[in-house]
């Protein structure tokens, strides 16, 4: 399977969001990744609804939304109607997580399960048959520019095996460098959220970076 390369638009140049989106699309990215935070579940605030709407109308590629918020069930309908293709929620933030995953599926969207570094597989194992994508956070969520947490590696590898059984894609998010893309792709990880460690703020063109990631 070809790598799913997913730019984290929280790291893009917001002064030129339309241009950034078009250039990334032309560069051949697969999914535009959009982070939303509430200042409670994580100690930061992310993108705004207008940013999501702007990216959604600018591209025909898949767009996901990563809800790093308490009680994400309140916003499933909103983002489904705004055109999110994949909706990620955290089991740590929702007391009725199975119902929320069902709600996402009932809207015809792909179900994303996002796991914090300290969240064990045993906590979510019963949910895995409901998921289309399982995204492992390889930093503590909320801020870009952090260091990759090596202790999540065994969890990633176990989830790759479980993904073959339950038919979900394993994604990784947080300090994903080109070396990590290469290493984790060989281990069976399907998708990579790309931020300042790989694509944004670099001297090379997006197309050059994406081509190198594809071919290594």
Of 35, 64, 94, 132, which residue is the catalytic one?
A: 35
Catalytic annotation on 13?
no
Best CA proximity match to 160, nearest among 171, 151, 152: 171
Q: 24: number of CA atoms within 13 Å, CB side?
A: 30
Best CA proximity match to 84, nearest among 9, 176, 1, 181: 9
Of 64, 132, 173, 179, which residue is the catalytic one?
A: 173
Catalytic annotation on 51?
no
Q: Where are the alpha helices (DSSP H) in the chain?
A: 17-27, 49-58, 76-82, 97-106, 121-124, 153-166, 178-186, 206-215
d(CA 63, CA 24): 13
CA 135 to chain centroid: 6
In the three-class reduction of DSSP (H, G, I as helix; E, B as strand; rest coil), residue 122 is classed as helix
Q: Which residues are catalytic?
A: 35, 173
């Amino acid at each position: 399977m070809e790598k799913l390369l997913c730019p984290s638009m929280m790291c893009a140049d917001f002064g030129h969001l339309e241009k950034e989106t078009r250039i990334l699309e032309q560069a051949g990215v697969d999914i535009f990744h959009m982070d939303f935070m509430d200042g409670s579940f994580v100690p930061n605030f992310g993108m705004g609804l207008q940013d999501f709407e702007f990216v959604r109308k600018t591209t025909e590629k898949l767009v996901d939304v990563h809800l790093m918020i308490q009680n994400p069930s309140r916003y499933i309908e909103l983002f489904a109607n705004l055109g999110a293709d994949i909706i990620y929620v955290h089991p740590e933030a929702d007391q009725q997580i199975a119902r929320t995953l069902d709600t996402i599926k009932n809207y015809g969207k792909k179900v994303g399960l996002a796991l914090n570094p300290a969240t064990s597989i045993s906590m979510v194992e019963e949910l895995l048959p409901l998921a289309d994508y399982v995204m492992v956070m390889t930093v503590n969520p909320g801020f870009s520019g952090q260091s990759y947490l090596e202790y999540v590696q065994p969890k990633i590898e176990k989830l790759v095996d479980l993904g073959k059984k339950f038919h979900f894609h394993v994604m990784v998010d947080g300090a994903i460098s080109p070396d990590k893309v290469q290493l984790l792709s060989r281990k069976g990880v399907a998708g990579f959220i790309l931020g300042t460690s790989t694509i944004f703020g670099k001297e090379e063109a997006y197309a050059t970076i994406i081509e190198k990631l594809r071919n290594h």
